Structure 1
Amino acid sequence: MIKEHGNNHRELELTQGNLHVFANDEVFQSLDDKVYTMADNNLTIPRSVHMSYTPDAHVGIGTCIGTTAVWMQKDGFVSPSIVGSDIGCGMRVHMTSLHHEDVRDKRIRRAMIDAIEKDVPIHEKSHSAYKDIWLEDIIKEGIRGLPRHYVPDSYTPTKTRSLTHIENATFTFDHDALADIPEKMWKRAWGQLGTLGGGNHFIELQRIEIAEDKREIAESWGLFDGQIIVMIHSGSRAWGGMMGPRYTKEFKGAMYKWGIGTPDPNLVFAPIQSEEGQRYINLMYSALNFAVTNRHMLAYGVEQALQGLLGKDFKMPVLYDLMHNYALKEPHHNKAMFVHRKGTTRALPKGHFLNPDSYKKTGHPALIPGSMGTASYIMVGEKEGVKNYYSICHGAGRVRSRRATKEQVSVDSFSQAMRVGSDEEILVNHRTLETILDECPQAYKDVDQVIDSVVGAKLASVVAICKPIAVLKGR
C-alpha cells in the first residue's frame, strides 16, 4: 500500500513497518524491488521511529545506501550496518579566487593535476610527509589535535574558518574505548592520514554557476559565477574500515546470545545502552574524528601544491565539510533521537540551532557530488526537511555494480561523457580511462533527476551548480 503525501513524498506500508521515499516519478519507478526487501529487513529492528530513502537509494550491505533510520535515544538501537563501512565518509569544498577563464587553457589544468598528484598521495596507500602528527591526538580531538601549522587560522580569533565552517571539528567520546584497538591498526592508520583512497573518492576542480533565486545566499558564502572551487570526497580510511568486520562479528555474537536476529545476516544491531552498543558508538566517533581530519589534510595538501604552482598568495578557504555515513544523537520534536544516515546528508535550514554560528542566518551548505563527468551541487536545507529529519541525498547513487559497468559500458562512451578532445574536456589524472571505467557517469543515476526529487520534496534548494573541469581519482 502506498500513501501519496505529494511533493515527491510517498509512504509505503511494508510488512514490518512504514518506509518514506522521497523521489520524483521517474526515480521512484526505477527503484529495484531489492531496496524494499532490504527496508523490510531493517524495519524488523524494534521500536523504529522513522525510516526513509532519498532518491539516490540503492542496495548496499545490510542496508541501502540512501537510508535515514531513527530511534529514540533512551531505548533505541545502533546498527553498524546502517552507518556503513566507510564511517565518516563525506564531502568538503574549498573556495578559490580563480575564475574559469583563468584555467580555460587545458595546459594549466593539467599542470594543476600534476602538482596535486605530486603533493597528495592519490594512488599510494600511505603518506610519509606528516611525521609530526600524532595519530592518537587526531583520533581523540579531530582537527583540534593537529599541530598548529596545519591549522594556522584556528589560532586567530577573527579567522577560525577551519573550526567554524564545518559540521564538527571534534567528536567527543570515551577514550577508554581505544584500549582494545590492535597495534597493527594504529600503525596502518597512521600512514593513511591525508590520503584519498579508491572507489568513488575524488578530488575535483569545478566551476560554479549560481542559482539566480539563491544569489544573495551564495554571495554571502563567498561564491560567485565562474568561480573555481575544490571538492573533496573521502572518509576514515583503514581506521573506520577496521570496524566493519570487527563489530559485525561482535554484534552477531551478542544478537545470538540475546536471541534476536533479522532475515539478513549482514544486518546487525544492538541496544544503544548495551556494552556492545556503547563500545561501537565511541569508536565510531573516533573514526569521525579521523575522517574530518583526513579531509582537512587532503585540502591542506592541495593548497600547498597549488601554492607551489600559482604562488604563495593562493588561498583556499573552506566553505564547508560534512559527513554522510554516521549516527548521532540529535534533538528532534523536543526529544533526544539517535539518527543513522547511511549515504544521506544533513541539510539544516536557516535559523536551526544546530547550524554553525557562521551559517545560522542562511543554513549551512549541503554538498552533493554528482558522478565523474556530471555536475555536483551545493544546496541549502529548507524548513520542510523536518519531515525527513533534515536528511537529503548524498550523491547520484549507483545503478550498476563495478563489474556490470565494466561489462556494459565502453571506453568510447565514457570518453564522450568526459568530452575528450574538446576545449571543454574534463581532465583526469589517469593515463587511460579504462583504469577508472567503473566510476564513469554511466555507472550512476542521473544526478539532475536526484536533485529534482530533493527540490520537489522541498527538503532543500540548489544554491550553485558545480561543473567538473579536472578530476583526480585514486585506485
Structure 2
Amino acid sequence: MNETYYRKVQLPSGDVHVYAGDSLFKELNYKVFEMANNNLQIPNQVYMSYTPDVHVGVGTCIGTTAVWNTHNGYVSPSIVGSDIGCGMRVHLTNLHNDAVKDVKLRRKLVKAIEKYLPVEDHTRGHFSDIRLEHVVTKGLHGLPKKYIPDAYTPRKCHSLTHVERSKFTLDEEVLNLFPERVWHRSHRQLGTLGNGNHFVEIQVIEISEPMRDIAEAWGLFDGQVAVMIHSGSRAWGGSVSQYCGSLMKKMMHAAGLGTADPNLLFAPLAHPQGQSYVNLLYSALNYAVANRHLIAYAVREAGKDIFGSKFEMTTLYDLMHNYAWEEEHEGQSYFVHQKGATRALPANHPDNPLPYIQTGHPALIPGSMGSASYIMVGATGGKDNFYSICHGAGRIRSRSETKRIITLEEFSSALKVGTEEEVVVNQKSLESIIDESPQAYKDVDQIIGSVVGAGLAQVVAKCKPMAAVKGA
C-alpha cells in the first residue's frame, strides 16, 4: 500500500495543505486544525500549510507556512513566534570522528565551550565591546572584524557569504521605541545560548550516498566532525514580540479585528502597526544571525584550546525558521511567514546565496536530543509549498508532561550514558533537562521521510550527536 505524504484539508475558513506521512497525519491533534481554521480567517490569505513536525503553539501552530500578496497582505507576530529569527547554524571542522571518540575528551571539550559560552540565563555574554545598535541595524556587518575570523581573506569569507541573509535593512527610527532596560538586557545576552530547546551539538557526519556529489561540493566528508547551533534573538526578539503584540492587540480591538483565539495577532502590512512590527522584526533577525555567529566564535575558541591552533571551523550555513519577509515566486511578490518551518531552495533558484546557486543551499534540520540531525537540500517539488520544509522533530509532549512521565533511566538510555557512544552533556543533572529528552519529540526519521516522500527536499547527510551543550 502506497503511503500518502500530502493532503489538502478543507476547513470552514479555507484549506490547509498538510505535508505528513500517514501515521504522522493520524496522530495530529484536533487543536492543530482548530488553530488552522482561526489562522485562515486573517483576510486576504493566499496559502497556508503544515509541515510534518507541526504541533500546537500560541496563536499559531509551530510548523506553519502562511502567505499573503505583498500589495494587500497582513503580518502576524503569532505566525512568526516570540523567538524571532530562531534558527540553525552548522560549521564544518577539519577533524575526523577519531578525534572525538574518547568520552573523557568530549567532556573536556564541553567544559571548554562553557568557559567561552555562558549557559546560565543570567550570565553576561563575553562581547561587551560590540555595539548593540550596530548589530540590530547591520546584522553580521555590524560586528567588529576581529569576530569575523576569515575576514582577512575576503574571497573565502564564509562567515558573510554562507548564510541565508547577513543583513536586513530597516527604518532605524523604530529603535527609539525601546527603553534603555531593553537595550541593556539584550546587550548582556549577545553571544549567549538561551534555554529550552536551544543547544550547541558536536556531531559526526554520514553522507547520503545518492547525494555524495553535493555533499563533497559543500566540503563534507564521512566521519567529519561538525558543530550545530540552535538559538535565536534572545531578549531583543522577546521585547519586539511583547511590545508589538500589546499595541497590535489594542489596534485590533479598536478596528474590530480578531478571531475566536485572542492570542492570534495580525495587522495589515500597510498599517502603521504592521510597518512598525516589520521593521522591529528585521532588527531581531539581525540580532539572531549575529548571536549564532558569536556562539560559533566561542565554540571555535574552545576548539582551539582542546585541539590546538590548527583547528578549523568553517561556516556551512546559517538559516532561520521563525520569520516573515518578502519573497518573489514566479514573478509575483509575496509576504511569507514561517513559524517553525525552514526554507529549502533547490539548485539554480535565484534566491540561493551565490556559493550555493548550482547546488541549492544546505537546509539544516535538528533532531531531538540524542537522535540524529539532518542536512538536506531543496527539491524542485518544493515550489508547491513555497519551498518550505520542517524545522525539527516537533514536540508530542509538553514540558510538564515529559517531566511527569519520562524517567531518568529512559533519558539516560537514550543518551547511551556509560557507553563509548554516550552523548556527553554539560548539565550536572540530567533531571534539569529531561523535558528535552527524545521522548518529548516525534520520530525525526519519520519527519524527514515525510519531507522526502512529498518531494520537498532530499537528505545530503545524517549527523550523529556526540556531545551537547544546553542552556539552563
Fold conserved between structures, TM > 0.5 = yes
Q: Distance in 2 between matches of 1:155 and 1:57?
A: 43
Deviation at 1:308? 1.5
**Structure 1 residue 156 displacement after superposition:** 2.5
- Name 1:198's counterpart in structure 2: 195
Cross-structure match for 2:333: 336
Counterpart check, 1:319 vs 2:323: no
- Structure 2: runs of 5+ lacking an equivalent: none
Aligned equivalent of 2:97: 100
Aligned length: 471
| Cross-structure match for 1:249 | 246
Deviation (angstroms), 1:124: 4.0
For 2:44, the equivalent position in structure 1 comes to 47
1:404 aligned residue = 401
Instruction: Quote the Cα distance in structure 1 between the aligned partners of 2:209 and 2:123.
Output: 43
1:387 to 384, 403, 417: 384
Of the three residues 209, 213, 228, the one matched with 1:212 is 209
Q: Identify the residue that residue 183 of structure 1 maps to in structure 2.
A: 180
CA distance in 1 between partners of 2:465 and 2:7 (Å): 33
Q: How does 1:285-324 map to 2 (within 5 A)?
A: 285-324=282-321
Deviation at 1:158, TM superposition (A): 1.5
* 1:153 match: secondary structure: coil
CA RMSD of aligned residues (A): 1.1
* Displacement after TM superposition at 1:343 (Å): 0.1
SS of corresponding position for 2:156: coil
Contact 1:400 1:443 in 2 (8 A): yes
Deviations 1:216-248, CA, capped at 9 Å, x for gaps: 100010000011000000000000011222222
The answer to whether the 8 Å contact 2:88/2:228 transfers is: yes
Counterpart amino acid of 2:471? G
Name the structure 1 match of 2:446: 449
SS for the counterpart of 1:350 is: coil
CA contact under 8 A between 1:125 and 1:197: conserved in structure 2? no
Q: Which residue of 2 aligns with 1:19?
A: 16
**Residues 289-324 of structure 1 deviation map (CA, whole Å, 9 limit, x = unaligned):** 000000000000000111112111111000000000
Q: Judging changes above 3 Å, is the alpha-carbon distance between structure 1 residues 128 and 215 closer, same or farther for their aligned structure 2 residues?
A: closer
Answer yes or no: is the 8 Å Cα contact 1:126–1:193 preserved in 2: no
Tell me: CA distance 1:348–1:250, structure 2 relative to 1, closer, same or farther (3 Å).
same
Superimposed CA distance per residue, residues 259-315 of structure 1 (whole angstroms, 9 cap, x where no aligned partner): 111110000100001100000000000000000000000000000111112111111
Deviations 1:149-205 (A, max 9, x none): 111423532212111000011011111111111111000000111000000000000
- Which of 72, 77, 81 is the aligned partner of 2:74? 77
Q: Distance in 1 between matches of 2:71 and 2:125?
A: 44
Conserved 8 A contact 1:125-1:195: no
Q: Distance in 2 between matches of 1:277 and 1:187?
A: 26
2: CA distance, partners of 1:44 / 1:155: 51
Aligned amino acid, residue 262 of structure 1? T
Separation (CA, whole Å) in 2 of partners of 1:322 and 1:421? 34
- How is 1:359-374 mapped onto 2 (pairs within 5 angstroms)? 359-374=356-371
Letter matched to residue 299 of structure 2: V
1:221 aligns with 2:218: yes
Report the Cα offset of residue 128 of structure 1: 4.6
Greater Cα shift, 327-336 or 396-405: 327-336
State the TM-score, normalizing by the size of structure 1: 0.98
Separation in structure 2 between the aligned mates of residue 328 and residue 10 of structure 1, nearest angstrom: 26
Distance 2:152 2:385 in 1: 37
Give the conservation status (yes or no) of the 8 Å contact 1:144–1:169: yes
- Deviation, 1:7, is 5.3
Task: Show the 5 A alignment for 1:451-470.
Answer: 451-470=448-467
| Residue equivalent to 2:277 | 280
